[in-house]
Amino acid sequence: MKLGLLSAAMMFVATNAMAQHMHTLGSPSETGQSQFAVIAEIVTLLRDDPETDWAQVDIKALRDHLVDMDNVTTRASVERTVDETSVTFMVTGDDVVGASIRRMVLAHSPMLQGTSDWTVTAAQIEGGASMLVQVGSDEELSQVLGLGFFGLMTIGAHHQQHHLMIAKGRSPH
């Protein structure tokens, strides 16, 4: 009982100290729009890291990648075809969105395959890219259908590290 109370008290003090450190009373903490917030977070990490090679840092590349993510998420059109245990997503948009789609889908498909038991292949098509996901069971097929293209694009906790690598001027793929 005493140990539980002591642990709870220590957690409260630590949490309260962190909150006070992170937020000055009356000061806003939100950095703004989500893309700006990602850039702000990465800039803070880079500035806090004494090993940062500033000659390699490329925040514009990170910004360009975030624009691609936004274009695909908000402006792409997706058509889905199901054939037994495979799903094909045809992802298209105008010229600008199509270029974003190609960069995102072609780069992400190998990552998706590497974090699942599925076979994932992507190809360029007019106006964008196709992504074929082949699964081994009806349960996996239900998961792919439930997630859809946009849900599949989020699989794999690589995005945060991916953004840091882009900002550091390193190839994330």
Contact 135, 141 (CB under 8 A): yes
User: Which of the four pLDDT bands, split at 50, 70 and 90, describes residue 172?
Assistant: low
Task: Note whether residue 129 is domain-resident.
Answer: yes
| Predicted confidence (pLDDT) at residue 54 exceeds the cutoff of 60 | yes
Residue 153 neighbours by CB under 8 Å, 6+ apart = 72, 104, 105, 108, 112
How does residue 88 score in pLDDT terms, banded at 50, 70 and 90? very high
Q: In the predicted model, what is the mean pLDDT of residues 95-99? A: 98
Question: Is residue 19 scored above 60 in pLDDT?
Answer: no
DSSP 57: -
Kindly report the average pLDDT of the chain as a whole number: 85
Q: Is residue 160 part of a domain?
A: yes
Q: How many domains does the chain have?
A: 1
pTM of the model: 0.76
**CATH number of the domain encompassing residue 92:** 3.30.1360
